[in-house]
Amino acid sequence: MANLRPAQYAGSQTSRVNLPSYISGYVDGEGCFNVSIAPRKTLRVGWEVRPSLSVSQNGDRSEVLLAIQDYFGCGTLRPDRSDMTLKWEIRSLPLLVERVLPHFEAYPLLSGKQRDAELFSAVCLRMLEGEHLEPAGLAAIVRLVGEMNPSGIRRYSPTVILNSLWEMKA
């Protein structure tokens, strides 16, 4: 194919792409900031808070997810059983705080999804202070999560969790 210049394909040396900006653009489309809150009897507050950032793409095109994993230097790549996609996911709180949050502060999303990123960031920073382990701190986190765009299924509504914390206090 004479009209194609193979040297330019998939990461040419002449590319002017700024990788951090590219990653933010990709995450704006395909990323999901999520905070799941699920019952955990072994914790005093009765609920476990699990923040995660995941990015999906069709399994036949893994290049960008590999670039994201390499850029952040963390997270796992695995096939999503529910569909034909591959998913990069980071769940480690210390790594989220150390590597992921600063990225989206420097290279924020241009869409309303940035608000999710900021609520997510606020939750992670509060967790770093251990606030999720105290009823009052957890209640504040639950309210922040309640303002995030629903991503996927929420098994427990903020109201259910807040009521259980209220009962605990009584």
Stretch that binds a copy of itself, among 37-45, 62-70, 77-85, 151-159 (CB under 8 A): 62-70
Residues in contact with a copy of itself, total (CB under 8 A)?
50
Query: DSSP secondary structure string, 78-138?
Result: EE-TTSSEEEEEE--HHHIIIIIHHHHHHS--SSTHHHHHHHHHHHHHHHHTTGGGSHHHH
Of 43 and 110, CB closest to a copy of itself: 110
Of 46 and 108, CB closest to a copy of itself: 108
Hey, is 139 helix, strand or coil? helix
CA neighbor of 100 nearest in space, from 114, 90, 111, 112 = 90
Examine residue 81 and tell whether it contacts a copy of itself (CB under 8 A).
no
- Contact between 132 and 45 under an 8 Å Cβ cutoff? The reply is yes
Q: And the tokens for 43?
A: 């914790």
Site for a copy of itself in 98-127 (CB under 8 A): 105-115, 118-119, 121-122, 125-126
Examine residue 132 and tell whether it contacts a copy of itself (CB under 8 A).
no
Q: And the tokens for 152?
A: 């996927």
Stretch that binds a copy of itself, among 21-29, 40-48, 75-83, 85-93 (CB under 8 A): 21-29
**Cα separation of 138 and 142, whole Å?**
6
Examine residue 8 and tell whether it contacts a copy of itself (CB under 8 A).
yes
Residues within the interface to a copy of itself (CB under 8 A): 1, 3-5, 8-12, 15-30, 57, 60-61, 63-64, 67, 105-115, 118-119, 121-122, 125-126, 144, 147
